[in-house]
Amino acid sequence: MVTKILAAGLLIAACRSGSKPVAQTGSAGSSGSASKDPWVTPDASTVPETAAQKKARADIALGRGRVDHAKLAAIRELTFDHDIPRMYQTTDDFRTFVHSEIAKDLPKDKAVDESAALYHVGLLTKPGNLAELEEHAFTTQAGAYYDPVAKKFFLVMVPDSDIMLDTISAHELTHGLQDQHFDLQKFMPSGDKLDDDHQAVRRFLAEGDATFTMFLYTIAQMGGGKVSPQMMAMLRSQLDAFASMSPEDMIKQNAAGFGASLDPEIKKSVDAMGDIPMTVLVPMIDSYMQGALMVAAAYDRGGWKAVDALYTDPPESTEQGLHPATKLFPTRDHPKAVDFHLASDKPEPEIANLVFGELQWQIYFQLWLPAQKAIASEGWGGDRVKVTKNGAGKLTAWIATVWDTQKDADELKAAYIASLAKRFPKGAGDPTTAAGFDRGDGAGKIYLKQDGLKVFIVDGATYPKSVDELAAATKIT
């Protein structure tokens, strides 16, 4: 995943979980004449907007007067050390930028290998190129972004609604505040310095902070510069409702919520959501909404100082981000480090080394056994997933996991076994026996072994003892 781009997704910025956004529920301090919902785009003109007209609107939206920097900084209780350069970027230029950034973390060969690995373990339902999928996700869903290297805020999409433009600007300017005070390049390093799950929850914090702040700013502007307890309660309620929606429901909700007045820029985003696989889309969405709830939980405990403290002592897992009230506060449930090195005279090359975390286990079961999504993924303690490829191109996934309680481990084992029938319609067998579960697709067998809180899986095995070798090689600390 691209760690450099901190984007404001238009659908997230709009955040409609009903017919109106939170910002419309409080009218105190408004002009009194605004009975019209400013988030609903007027009927589109029959004359298409020219590139020059769009740029002109973008330049106005980016003007310092549109979003009051002092008020935004006061809401966030930080100060701008210096102004943040802002500019409009065409979608073509943005696509070029995203492509180059993704290529740094996912060069061609690595993208091919990791894509094949994700398909093999069941996180992709059909073959695809991960780099292309991530590029599609960013270029269709990001309305704007902040670049911590260039120290600039770029506006990419220009929706008709001025309020939506201001909301997006407030989000990205908050990223600028974060960068000036917490050094986002250091906080969200590129490459393999952090495992996938740890990287994902740090994005929860950065995007959740910007989302929470932008809503507070918008509400304050509509409430005469103040956020009443009632407004805050409404915001929390809507964040809870939106975060609980499945991606499928979110797509339907946004399409229905905007209706016939859907802005052309946003319509492209709505239409594109259905083409983004869950393993890419869900972490992107959750970084905004679940991230905002995580930030809100910290804010409730100690205001902005408690939020700031998370940048110096960051959350370590999506489990903490998904359950801040029990896994992050008041005492952290630290993830266990899981690793293994398989003994072999001729080790097969490793093409992927991943940590699923609770979030990707949620996604796995959402794809293959939705009714067990929460039951099977909660209680996660740690995992390590390595995918190897032999000389003939055959893949084998080695999956070592540890769970908080015996019940949690039992639930994961039962749900995983049950998911195999859905993943492999032509498959048959029992992964807990020497005969194993034959995938039925020519890719080998699946073996599963449970040892107390630990569950081991070998997917694509050629011999029964492979799962015993995995269990013997695994170290958990």
pLDDT (tens digit, 9 = 90+) per residue, 434-472?
999 999 999 999 999 999 999 999 999 999 999 999 999
Looking at the predicted structure, is the pLDDT value of residue 20 above 90? no
Which DSSP string corresponds to 179-192?
A: HHHH-HHHHS-STT
Q: Where is average pLDDT lowest: 137-146, 304-313, 354-363?
A: 137-146
For the stretch 170-181, pLDDT in tens is: 999 999 999 999
Q: Where is average pLDDT lowest: 52-61, 243-252, 295-304, 404-413?
A: 243-252
Phi, psi of 312 (to 5 degrees): -95, -25
pLDDT band at 33 (very low <50, low <70, confident <90, very high): very low
* Beta pairing, strands 142-147 & 350-354: unpaired
Contacts of 135 (CB under 8 A, 6+ apart): 95, 98, 99, 102
pLDDT band at 57 (very low <50, low <70, confident <90, very high): confident
Q: What angle do CA 367, 196, 320 make, to 5 degrees?
A: 80
- The answer to whether residues 456 and 400 touch, using CB atoms and an 8 Å cutoff, is yes
> Which pLDDT value is given to residue 335?
98
Q: Where is average pLDDT lowest: 11-25, 113-127, 329-343, 367-381?
A: 11-25
> Which pLDDT value is given to residue 270?
64
Q: Where is average pLDDT lowest: 21-25, 110-114, 289-293?
A: 21-25
- Give the pLDDT mean for 280-285: 91
Phi, psi of 118 (to 5 degrees): -65, -35
Looking at the predicted structure, is the pLDDT value of residue 38 above 70? no
- pTM, 2 dp: 0.88
> Which pLDDT value is given to residue 272?
67
The residue ranking higher by pLDDT, 284 or 244, is: 284
Question: CA-to-CA distance for 278 and 106, rounded, in angstroms?
Answer: 19
Contacts of 14 (CB under 8 A, 6+ apart): 21, 39, 164, 167, 254, 257, 258, 266
- The answer to whether residues 121 and 399 touch, using CB atoms and an 8 Å cutoff, is yes
pLDDT band at 256 (very low <50, low <70, confident <90, very high): low
Checking phi first, is residue 414 left (phi over 0); if not, alpha (psi -120 to 50) or beta? alpha
